[in-house]
Amino acid sequence: MTNNPKLLLIGADGQVGQELRQTLVNLGEVIPLTRQQIDLSQGEILRQTIRDLKPQGIVNAAAYTAVDQAEKEPDLAQAINGIAPQIMAEVAQELGAWLLHISTDYVFDGTKSTPYLDSDSPHPLSVYGQSKLAGEMGIQGAMDNYLILRTAWVYGLYGKGNFVKTMLRLGQSREEIRVVADQIGSPTAALDIATAISALCPQLEEGKIKGIYHFTNSGVASWFDFAVAIFEEAKAINIPLKIKQVIPITTADYPTPAIRPSYSVLSGQKVSQTLGYYPPYWRDSLRKILKLGQNHELF
């Protein structure tokens, strides 16, 4: 990469953002912006902030991720997920900078039965998915040197709103939990996403890669499978739990405001060739993250 480039990390307080603070430092001077420091719904402030900082590269790990709440707040979801990334792209193009933006499996409708390729046509079912697709399209229309990294089912050590932390909290207070078993995807550790991004950024800067890539941990699971694995792995390292039974239910048994894709597995073939390695198997990463969380008293 350029000698000690200035890298702007937007969403530095999120699950992936907090991991990126640590993995990006080897690439240059990281300028972290948190939700408290920049309001992505204020487009002109965002535009001026990036112009003033003049980064050589931007990593956008920020998003409006409250999938069900987005159905009630479509304008806010669109401002943060749709309009803000386009503004980042427009300013990056002005500055001659590159942009790496994180997107989602929820741009697809889940009607396939084989892993989604980056070339497959998106068809989002929810306001959240629609807003994320708008962001992708805004970036593609505004600049040349971009990489959109779609990922899925993200969890990690940081932040409070992820499936692993929710299951552990419930498992410590309940003997029985009901979990949806007919939605299939790939649980993905934030640390693995951050590690991949840090490997992709130099190639993006050098113009070796661009466009849309998919990255998740390897393997597939239902939310029910994921929950069972969380409890099994947690018990194996003596995280105290009260849970005795996980009961599989259908999506129809647990209606939500936002419609979710029933199958949203993303193909990792293209990104694996670019990175030179296959992403870790999801259960191996889960085991690693649980141990790290236990060691740092985060669970």
CATH number of the domain enclosing 17: 3.40.50.720
Does residue 180 sit within a domain? no
Does residue 67 sit within a domain? yes
Q: How far apart are CA 229 and CA 226, in angstroms?
A: 5
pLDDT of res. 294:
85
Does 158 participate in catalysis according to the annotation? no
- Cα atoms found within 13 Å of the Cα of residue 144, Cβ hemisphere only: 9
pTM greater than the 0.85 cutoff: yes
Query: Which domain range does residue 15 map to?
Result: 6-161+186-219+264-280
Does residue 175 sit within a domain? no
Does residue 68 sit within a domain? yes
* 3-state secondary structure (DSSP) of residue 247: strand
Does residue 166 sit within a domain? no
pLDDT of res. 161:
76
Does residue 291 sit within a domain? no
Catalytic residue chosen out of the listed positions 64, 106, 116, 128: 128
pLDDT of res. 299:
64
All residue ranges of the chain with pLDDT < 70 are 1-2, 296-299
DSSP sequence for 58-126: EEE------TTGGGT-HHHHIIIIIIHHHHHHHHHHHHT-EEEEEEEGGGS-S--SSPBPTTSPP---S
pLDDT of res. 4:
82
pLDDT of res. 2:
65
Beta bridge partners, 10, equal 33, 60
Does residue 57 sit within a domain? yes
Does residue 256 sit within a domain? no
